[in-house]
A and B are shown apart, each in its own frame.
Chain A
Amino acid sequence: MFRALTLISLPLVIAAIVIHAVIIRPRRAAETTAAPCPRRWEIAAYLLLLVGILMLALTGLSGVILHGPASLAGWKLWLHFASAPLFIIMLLLVVIAWGERSRFDTPADATPFSTGSRILFWLVAFCGFAALLTIVLSMAPIFSSDAQHTLYAIHRYAALFTVLAVIAHAYTLLLHRPPARESTHTTPAHTTTTVTHSEPAVR
């Protein structure tokens, strides 16, 4: 079932993005925001998060897609583990950096993120956390083999939803880029200061 879900959902999300980008074009001129754009280090952290997720997805899902359900092993497993620290650190940084501005009670002009973007952000955060937690728990000598099978099953699905959510989230960030601004200083949340941006918040 997991393989089928992977084979269906990944192309589906990508196809939806392509259709939206090509047919349903957002009207950027109508969308202006006075919200501060993300800082460079936040953008860098997000990009590194994407790299980490990409590495984990390639090593973790390629076997499932190509060969069906089979445990990760060999060099793929090693690369999967090697990519994990990057994912963990960057997820933590991104959540710290964007958590406040992704709250649903934050006014629209106080955050560069649209509602859809915020929903997807929390999906990435919580599914990513679930994927991380299940693996961390499996590394402790606490759970039996049967329980580990359950943990790995949760990990697989959480990882898949993380991948799907981050693809969509990245697209929404591209879609709802704030206009260029002159300064990069941030303003506290819940304010509606109008600031002119000199460069796009997200490249």
Chain B
Amino acid sequence: MFGFRPRLPQYSSVTPLLLLAVAVLAAPMTTPAADDQTAKPLTTGSKSRFTHRINLYDERGVAINPPKGDTKPDPKLPPYSPAHTCGKCHDYKTISHGWHFNAADPTVPPGRPGEPWIISDKDTQTQLPVSARGWAGVFKPQDLGISSWSFATTFGPHTPGGGLGDAYIDQDKVPDNDAKWDVVGHLEIDCLHCHSANPSHDQAEWTRAVSLESFQWAPTVAAGLGHITGAGKSLEKPKSQDTPKPSLPLQYNTDRFDETNKVFLDITREPNPDRCYYCHTTREVGPGATPRWLADQDVHLRAGFKCTDCHRTDISHMDSRGYEGDKNTPAGLTCKGCHLGDTHDNTWSLALSGGRLGAPRPLHKGLPPVHFQKLTCTACHAGPWPQDNPKAIQASLAHNLGLDSRDRSDDEYPHLIAPVLMHQSTDGRVAPHRLLWPSYWGRLKDGKITPLAPGEVKPKLRAVKRKAARSGSKTAPRSSPASAAPAELTDQEIAMLLADLTSDAGEAVFVRDGHVYRKQGEDKLTDKIDDSRLSAYTQPYAWPLAHDVRPASQSLGIRGCIDCHLSQSPFNAGKLASPFDAKAPTLPIQTMAQLRGDNARMAGLWAWSYSQRSAFKTFAYTATIILGFILLRYALIAVGGVLRRISA
């Protein structure tokens, strides 16, 4: 129609054959882009999704061409490697230093405290927060003697891979003789863990594979591309260099491979929230918990948002955490930025003008602006509604949510509670938090407590219980194996165990519920330890929560100022103990107001004044109206006088 016909190159009949030959010979041997640091990323530049019908590559960069037909699992068949498959086009090295993977990177600012890993054990009543990020109140894996291998086997199952299992594998101060990286491979990032749009990609299968130390096979089995016989746990390190490296028999699902051995992977740039929920689910449990079928979803997700609409990133995978002050969150992507705009210097810009993605602009009618200086948006709008007793919470990472099990119980360790309205460490504003009272056995030396692994404590605990039983001493009733309730320990048992655990490395102590207990005499405990340095160990660990966001009509304050400004409101008098914690009355800090360090007298004065607020408003309105009329009269008299003079 336009008189234009695209010119096609004119080739001889031989040229296509030559090109085909070159392509066939070159393609399988192409060095993956992941190995070529100077290669530009392969992109389409289009907003439409690229169809990933691609070859799979193993850890050597060799294309995987599984035999077709009736085959048996073959230990010689390598699993596919995301680093060498996805890495052909996407900068795997950069991605591997992203936020989900860089906790052990000492050069990365840790930012606001976040959810830690928690070492928990019901028998020893251990719940110990661990994170390589080094937030205040958590222990670093290396400081607990947890090697990269141990971290990968313990916590790797509920990660998308990477981190200490891959890019940061060399963080160990002391080599771990149990490490079998050479046998089972690194715990590479499984990109499909997040970016698969195919619901048949089973994150739970990944968890099961990694928990069995089948590291390099986990991406293959999770994607349903094949299955393995056996587990990495059963593989032993070769006794000599001549002994061939053991492997797991793998059988590919050849139906997934087309005639050219390419596989279609349904991949999305922006993961579906379901993918995020596997690791980022929290649920209420125990007394007062809202049943799942009655709980409302986060309003943003109800509105059709994805997690990545707010938690954005580029290829660096340095995800925006969404709070004000986060270096990876553009000002326009915080709560305030989207809803209100965030123009500091009165310079208008579209990105900072608010109303992004149709975000409604809240009017906050009648709310004194001082609240925005003292509270975060989430204090009123996010998490469970504050009540006198906090909700018991379970989380994916802490309680292995996402894995099917018949053995779940509400009182599993660790015991988390939410919401706890307290000052956040970044800017001091009050925000809702999830909270954990650390509980662990440790050794005290020079004002420092070094926690002990449950594995070190358990044998001695069993010996103490046997000794106590033989001596006829009163022992606490055993918890049944089916119950996740922690086995109660009497003071005598604790004292005996502390005596057994004490060594040259230090005096054994038991940290629990905000106290540090030491042995006093034969069978008594005391928490009176005259060392101010220990106060750091008695603090609860808390991290801000931001979900689920409630609608405006369900925000704190919707019933008026008294939602918070009453002495007995949950904001002030809300408790800090888990409903499953029998030692709650011994907590050194009992209420949210105490945790915040609020002046009780001031709070009482405010509470009293708000009870008089209605009367004061009536008085003030009346006086204002009367005064207004009086001044209006005088003003009119004055105007009349002026007009008379003018006209005269």
Contact = CB atoms under 8 A, between A and B. Distances in A.
A132 B627 contact: yes
A35 to B, nearest CB: 19
Nearest to A146: B363
B643 interface: no
A148 interface: yes
Contact of A104 (B374, B606, B638): B638
Contacts of B365: 141-144
B602 A75 contact: yes
Contact of B367 (A96, A104, A133, A145): A145
Contacts of B373: 71, 73
Contacts of A133: 624, 628
Contact of A145 (B364, B602, B623, B630): B364
A72 B606 CA distance: 14
Interface in A55-87: 71-75, 77-78, 81-82, 84-85
A126 interface: yes
B626 A92 contact: yes
Interface stretch (B146-154, B403-411, B513-521, B612-620): B612-620
Interface in B578-617: 602, 605-606, 609, 616-617
A89 B623 contact: yes
Contact of A136 (B366, B605, B624, B634): B624
Chain A: number of interface residues, binned into ranges: 35 or more
A88 to B, nearest CB: 5
B623 A88 contact: yes
A161 B620 CA distance: 21
B39 interface: no
B367 A125 contact: no
A103 B634 contact: yes
Interface string A119-142: 000100110010011011011111
B641 A71 contact: no
Contacts of A96: 630
A20 interface: no
Nearest to A77: B370
Dominant SS among interface residues on chain B: helix
Nearest to A74: B602
B275 to A, nearest CB: 37
A85 B641 contact: no
B366 A143 contact: yes
Given A89-B623, A104-B638, A145-B364, A95 B630 contact: yes
Nearest to B626: A92
A72 B369 contact: no
B621 interface: yes
A91 B627 contact: yes
A132 B624 contact: yes
Nearest to A122: B634
A124 to B, nearest CB: 11
B348 interface: no
Contacts of A84: 620
B630 A144 contact: no
Contacts of B295: none
A78 B369 contact: no
A10 B365 CA distance: 34
Contact of A95 (B367, B372, B631, B641): B631
Interface in B368-384: 368-370, 372-374
B606 A78 contact: yes
B641 A105 contact: yes
B363 A144 contact: yes
A149 interface: yes
A200 interface: no
Contacts of B631: 95, 125-126, 129
A151 to B, nearest CB: 10
A82 B537 CA distance: 42
B637 interface: yes
A11 interface: no
A69 to B, nearest CB: 12
A99 interface: yes
B637 A103 contact: yes
A152 interface: yes
Interface string B340-380: 00000000000000000000001111111110111000000
A135 B637 CA distance: 27
Contacts of B609: 78, 81-82
A58 to B, nearest CB: 18
Contacts of B638: 103-104
B437 to A, nearest CB: 30
A132 B620 contact: yes
A89 B365 CA distance: 27
Contacts of A132: 620, 623-624, 627
A88 B369 contact: no
B620 A99 contact: no
A104 B641 contact: yes
A72 B368 CA distance: 11
A145 B605 contact: no
A82 B616 CA distance: 10
Contacts of B637: 103, 105
B624 A139 contact: no
Contacts of B623: 88-89, 92, 132
Contacts of A122: 634
Given A139-B617, A140-B617, 12 more contacts: A74-B602, A96-B630, A103-B634, A103-B637, A132-B620, A133-B624, A136-B624, A141-B365, A142-B365, A144-B364, A144-B365, A152-B369
Interface of B: 362-370, 372-374, 602, 605-606, 609, 616-617, 619-621, 623-624, 626-628, 630-631, 634, 637-638, 641
CB-based closest 10 A-B pairs: A141-B366, A144-B363, A71-B370, A145-B364, A141-B365, A88-B623, A136-B624, A136-B620, A92-B627, A145-B369
6 contacts: A92-B623, A92-B626, A99-B634, A132-B624, A138-B368, A145-B363
